[in-house]
A and B are shown apart, each in its own frame.
Chain A
Amino acid sequence: MSVTPILSLKDVDKNFGGLTAVDSLDLQVLPGQICGLIGPNGAGKTTVFNLITGVYPCDGGAVFLGDREITSAKPHRITRMGVARTFQTIRLFPNLTTWEHILVAQNFLTHAGNGRRILPDRQREKELKAEAQEILTLLDLWGDRQRKAVTLPYGSQRKVEIARALATRPKLLLLDEPAAGMNIRETEELLHIIAKIHAKKQGMAILVIDHDMDFVMKICEYIFVLNFGIRITEGTPEDIQQDEKVKEAYLGKEE
């Protein structure tokens, strides 16, 4: 009996002008799995995230969330269906506190946040506020909740991005270079946090982009390798470590 993947990309293409960013890409993530998406700079990894979340339209192929096609859906619909993400360069809201970041991300889960109702649903508000507290505590941000998020140290800001994404109750969490710019201690902490999140939210799949091979190898169960927009190989961390094509992609062909 096979399980429907939570995310599948089928033959997806993306061109910018004359440049092919993504070429006939096939990719699948199973529910609850932590997968990695790696490849040298410019391989098209962030573009894939943008295609999944509807920021860019696909030029060909299809994207499915579970068994629903989301290829041409608008970003806010896709998020509401259960996809959340963080960003390569941190994009927090300059005028909002940490706590407010979580609230905003939860908005569509209440109807008051939508403008569909005027008065908030008390019960739901209580649940959501409790959930917000839970998320912030999990990520060790509860003490910083009243501070403007952009005033926090770099490592904390990355955590706020993750917390914000979690607040949308995603089935699929996309992390774009979550360890970028972090030192060894912070990266270790991040590993712990992702492991904690994975343990807590077992049904949620995670797809991670990162340059740090060690990081990716430690946390991911399965890895896709991209170069020039094409999937050159995939496999478990052990497979990837031994794969010639991957070494070539990162280090160049042996002359």
Chain B
Amino acid sequence: MSIYHLDLMSALGINVLLALSVYCPMVTGQLSIGNAGFMAIGAYISAMLTVHLHIPLFPALIAAGVVAGFIGLLVGFPALRLKGLFLAMATLGFGEIVRNFFMNFLEPLTGGAYGFRGIGNDPISVFWIWGWVIFFLIFLHFLSRSRLGLAMLATHDDETVSELMGVNIVRLKIGAFGLGAFIAGVAGGLFAHYYLYIEPEFFNVWKSIYMVLFVIMGGMLTFWGGVMGAAIFTLLPEFTRILHDWRGAFFGLVIIVLMIIRPSGILTRDMFRWDYWRPSLKEAKP
């Protein structure tokens, strides 16, 4: 595989993780447009740990993820009181606050607005990234098939009724937020150690928005949706080379069209049930 393909696979892997990080709160009905903030936290903390404290990569990634996840839990509390657009705006504001924080503070450690250079000498291999991707995919696979996953989906569908069926939606929603933040934090750490350079501007609003778009495009109610959306976004530029600079505009157009013809996204949860693909069985009951 050429360097170019490896780069592409690495970018894809990180985008998949970012999509999964948005999926977690989304499946409990919370739209978060601020996960770039958690990514930034993960990136900067892991970089500071490996560069300044010479901590090996694996523990640094875990620590970065845990810190991001913890902050996610903290943000999850006030988030409970906000619905829909308000929550989206609050998370957007959070992402911007984090970006600004790294732009203005900790400069001697992180280079501030000028960026953090020299995060290690060699980029991590693409296997590192995909190891984490596979881990989280397996984790989410078991989670979505479990009772907990079902409770999350029920919460997404109708929070009030779920609560009236005995589901502890507070714990579920905050937990989902924290989990998403953890995944984003790990993604940030991997990003930092692959590209060996980060600056606050990388983690801006657009990054957060694109993450959300992966999930929306690919399918909101199954974690494979985020995978598909990330794949489309990362790989599509390769297939639309002829468009040159118009690829961005094309992407915008794709979203607009998709929202009209298939707003729930490409993949749906039903597709993963064995009886979806056999129409004769759908009308079983006389």
Supposing A104-B162, A105-B165, A108-B167 touch, asked if A146 and B275 sit within 8 A by C-beta, the answer is yes
A interface footprint on B153-183 (CB within 8 Å = 1, 0 otherwise): 1101110111111111101100100000000
Question: Which chain B residues lie closer than 8 Å to A104 at the CB level?
Answer: 147, 150-151, 154, 162, 165, 167
Q: In the bound complex, what is the Cα–Cα distance between A143 and B282 (angstroms)?
A: 11
How many chain-B residues does the 8 Å CB contact rule pick out? 31
A115 lies within 8 A of chain B by Cβ: yes
A168 interfacial contact with B, CB 8 Å: yes
Report yes or no: A144 in contact with B285, Cβ–Cβ below 8 A: yes
A154 vs B234: C-alpha distance when bound (angstroms): 44
Asked if A93 contacts B158 (CB within 8 A), the reply is yes
Pairwise interchain contact A55-B160, C-beta atoms closer than 8 A: yes
- Whether A93 contacts B161 by the Cβ 8 Å rule is yes
A53-B150 in contact (CB<8A) = no
- Centre residue among A74, A80, A107, A164 by max chain B CB count within 10 A: A107
Distance in angstroms from B118 CB to nearest chain A CB is 40
Verify if B52 is at the interface (C-beta below 8 Å from A).
no
Contact of A168 among B166, B169, B171 (CB under 8 A): B166
Closest to B169 in A: A76
Among listed A21-29, A94-102, A230-238, A242-250, interface-contacting one: A94-102
Residues of B within 8 A of A85 (CB): 164
Q: Kindly state the separation between the CA atoms of A158 and B210 in the bound complex, as whole angstroms.
A: 41
Q: How far apart are the CA atoms of A107 and B146 in the complex, in Å? A: 10
Which chain A residues in 187-222 approach chain B with CB under 8 Å? none
**Which residues between 119 and 170 of chain B lie within 8 Å of chain A, taking CB atoms?**
146-148, 150-151, 153-154, 156-158, 160-169
Tell whether, in the assembled complex, residue B153 and residue A96 are in contact, meaning their CB atoms are under 8 Å apart.
Answer: yes
Would you call B269 an interface residue if the criterion is a C-beta within 8 Å of the partner chain's C-beta atoms? yes
The B contact surface, by secondary structure, is helix
Residues of A within 8 A of B163 (CB): 74-76, 79
Complex contacts, B63 vs chain A, CB 8 Å: none
Interface digits, A104-137 against B, CB 8 Å rule (1 contact, 0 not)?
Answer: 1111111011110000100000000000000000
List, in ascending order, chain B residues with CB within 8 A of A147's CB: 282, 285
Partner of A96, one of B148, B157, B160, B172: B157
B284 at the interface (CB under 8 A from A): yes
Q: How many residues of A contact B (CB 8 A)?
A: 37
Contact of B175 among A55, A93, A110, A115 (CB under 8 A): A115
Q: Could you say which residues of chain B place their CB within 8 Å of the CB of A240?
A: none
Taking a contact as CB atoms under 8 Å apart, the answer to whether B150 and A75 are in contact is no
User: Which residues on the A side are within 8 Å of B282 (C-beta)?
Assistant: 147
- Complex: how many Å from CA A103 to CA B169? 16
Cβ 8 A contact of B148, one of A84, A87, A105, A115: A115
Distance in Å: Cβ of A182 to nearest Cβ of chain B: 19
- Tell me which residues across on chain A come within 8 A of B31, comparing CB atoms: none
Interchain CB contact (< 8 A) of A103 among B147, B273, B275, B285:
B147
Question: In the assembled complex, how far is the CB of residue B215 from the closest CB belonging to chain A, in whole angstroms?
Answer: 15
Nearest Cβ distance between residue A191 and chain B, in whole angstroms?
22
Q: Is there an interface contact between A100 and B165, defined as CB atoms closer than 8 Å?
A: no
Contacts A104-B150, A112-B146, A143-B285: A76 and B166 contacting too (C-beta < 8 A)? yes
CB distance from B143 to the nearest CB of A (A): 10
The interface residues of chain B lying within 8 Å CB-to-CB of A148 are 270
Contact indicator A94/B157 (Cβ below 8 Å)? yes
Q: How many Å lie between the Cα of A53 and that of B163 in the bound state?
A: 10
Chain A residues near B148 (CB-CB < 8 A): 112-113, 115
Q: Which of A128-178 contact B (CB under 8 A)?
A: 143-144, 146-148, 164-165, 168
Q: Which residue of chain B is the closest to A110 with respect to CB atoms?
A: B147
* B190 interface hit (Cβ, 8 Å): no
Interface residues of B in 15-34 (CB under 8 A from A): none
B11 interface contact, C-beta 8 A: no
Q: Decide: B157 and A93 in contact? CB cutoff 8 A.
A: yes
Chain B minimum-CB-distance residue to A156: B285
Q: A96-B157, A104-B150, A104-B151 are in contact. Are A53 and B164 (CB under 8 A)?
A: yes
- Besides A96-B150, A107-B150, 6 other A-B contacts (C-beta < 8 A): A76-B168, A94-B157, A95-B153, A104-B165, A113-B147, A120-B146
A residues at B contact (CB < 8 Å): 53, 55, 74-76, 79-80, 84-85, 87, 91, 93-96, 100, 103-110, 112-115, 120, 143-144, 146-148, 164-165, 168
9 closest A-B pairs by CB: A108-B166, A113-B147, A93-B157, A79-B166, A105-B165, A104-B154, A75-B163, A76-B163, A91-B161
A-B contact list, 11 entries, CB within 8 Å: A75-B163, A79-B163, A95-B221, A96-B153, A104-B165, A112-B147, A113-B147, A113-B151, A143-B284, A144-B285, A164-B165
